[in-house]
Amino acid sequence: MRYWSTIVIVALTLLSARTAQAGDGPAQTHIVPIKGFAFVPDHLTVSAGDTVVWKNEDIVPHTATDKGVFDSTEIGSRKSWAYKATRQRKFAYICTYHPTMHADLTVQ
């Protein structure tokens, strides 16, 4: 009987450690300022369930667009747009008004 108790305790300990590593913490909000015609930072890694908020600090409108996945449409000056990251993958996005503006978002 003691043998089985030990196995159960070890199994539960391993399961608990694996769950803790899976990123089950509370969802976070990440801010991506748009300034100087750039996304800052241009590489961002977040966890599934997190929210990314793009804040336009420039005087002209911008977008945060990964065609077929997400599209902010126009983010006016001093405005923001949020996206809840639910799909685990790497997204390459641009500003459709200024295609030289590009960045990537990795969701783990």
How many helices (DSSP H) and strands (DSSP E) are in the chain?
A: 1, 8
Token digits of residue 91: 């997204």
Residue 10 confidence (pLDDT) above 80:
no
Reported residue count of the chain is 108
Cβ neighbours around 88 below 10 Å, total: 10
- Residue 20 falls within a domain, yes or no? no
Q: Residue 34: give the domain boundaries.
A: 25-107
Q: What is the DSSP letter of 53?
A: E
In the predicted structure, residue 13 carries a pLDDT above the cut 80: no
User: For residue range 14-69, what is the model confidence (pLDDT) as tens digits?
Assistant: 444 333 344 567 999 999 999 999 999 999 999 999 999 999 999 999 999 999 89
DSSP summary character for residue 1: -
Neighbours of 17 (CB within 10 A): 10
* 4 assigned to some structural domain: no
| Cβ partners under 8 Å of residue 86, min gap 6 | 48, 49, 107
Q: Give mean pLDDT, residues 62-87.
A: 96
pLDDT band at 88 (very low <50, low <70, confident <90, very high): very high
Is there a contact between 77 and 61 (Cβ–Cβ < 8 Å)?
A: yes
Q: Decide if 5 is inside a domain.
A: no
Query: Is residue 16 domain-resident?
Result: no
Residue 77 lies in a domain: yes
Task: Supply the CATH number for residue 82's domain.
Answer: 2.60.40.420
Q: Domain count of the chain?
A: 1
Inter-residue contact 32 to 101 (CB < 8 Å): no
